[in-house]
Structure 1
Amino acid sequence: MFSHVMVGSNDIERSKRFYDAVLAVVGAGEAVRNQSKTGHWRLFYRHDGTTFCVTEPINGEPAGFGNGGTIGFKCVSPEQVHQFHEVAVANGGTAIEDPPGLREAAVGSLYLAYVRDPDGNKLCALYRPPSPR
């Protein structure tokens, strides 16, 4: 459904350090760095046919985060959810909401962890256990 997600950053080097570490947990390689026609720097992380991008806002205004918005990253195990959370916090992210763990939802059981990146964007690491048969 989605081709890419892009978030803004007020410090592209800080964001690169954070996302290089955090996205390595879910299998993304180091960012491809790109400079736009306006001179603003962008980072592109590609993995499994999708792209996660970080950019300096091209309008020159400070980057902000969307209240109520969350960007979810698919994990392959509860252990990977915990690792995502730990690496995020160790690299300048902030733990938010409940500690990583199993949650019951209308769509079944989900193993979740939430953090904010250094610019305040809300991230979720999510593992969906197989449905019992």
Structure 2
Amino acid sequence: MFSHVFLGVTNFNEAKAFYDPLMALIGARPRFSDHSRPWAGWESSPGVRPLFIIGSPINGEPATAGNGTMVAFQVQSRDQVDAAHALALSGGGRDEGAPGLRPEYHAHYYATYFRDPDGNKICVVCHAPIERHNELPYGSPA
């Protein structure tokens, strides 16, 4: 359904340092990085789309975080959700919700929320029941 998601960033080097380990943790592979533009993209696995891209806004204006805008990354295990939260906070992110169950969404919705250094809201979520969260293939619904 999605081709790509693009988030504007103000300090490309800081943003790339924030997203490189996070993308590795969730299993996204680097696709391109061009410091002269500046922008970088990671591809999904399996496949090459959708892409997740960070970069300076094309209009040259400062990047701003959208009110009510959020990007959610699905992972295979609750341990990955926990690790993503710790990684984000140690990399300059701001906590927006510690890892845990959110039964108001569904019984197995285990997620964390944080903001990147530019204030973009990010979610990392596992939808699998705890007893089998490591058995589901990536992207499979619970």
Band the TM-score falls in, shorter-chain normalisation: 0.7 to 0.9
Q: Deviations over 1:87-114 (max 9, x none)?
A: 11111111113x2101102444300100
1:28: Cα distance to partner? 1.6
Unpaired runs of at least 5, structure 1: none
The aligned residue for residue 115 of structure 1 is 114
Q: Distance in 1 between matches of 2:121 and 2:57?
A: 18
Contact 1:7 1:55 (8 Å CA) reproduced: yes
The size of the alignment, in residue pairs, is 128
The percent identity for this pair of structures is 37
Matching residue of 2:64:
64
Partner of 1:41: 38
- How far the C-alpha of 1:71 sits from its partner, in A, is 0.3
Matches within 5 A, 1:1-133: 1-30=1-30, 32-34=32-34, 40-48=37-45, 49-97=49-97, 99-130=98-129
Could you list the runs of 5+ residues in structure 2 that have no partner in the other structure? 132-142
Instruction: Determine if contact 1:20/1:29 at 8 Å carries over to the other structure.
Output: no
Q: 1:58 to 1:110 in 2, by over 3 A?
A: same
List structure 1 segments (4+ residues) > 4 angstroms apart after TM superposition.
Answer: none
Between Structure 1 and Structure 2, the one with more strand by share is: 1
- Asked if the contact 1:96–1:115 (Cα under 8 Å) also holds between the matched residues in 2, the reply is yes
3-state secondary structure, aligned to 1:16: helix
Query: What is the aligned-residue RMSD (CA, Å)?
Result: 1.9
Taking structure 2 as the reference length, what is the TM-score of the superposition?
Answer: 0.82
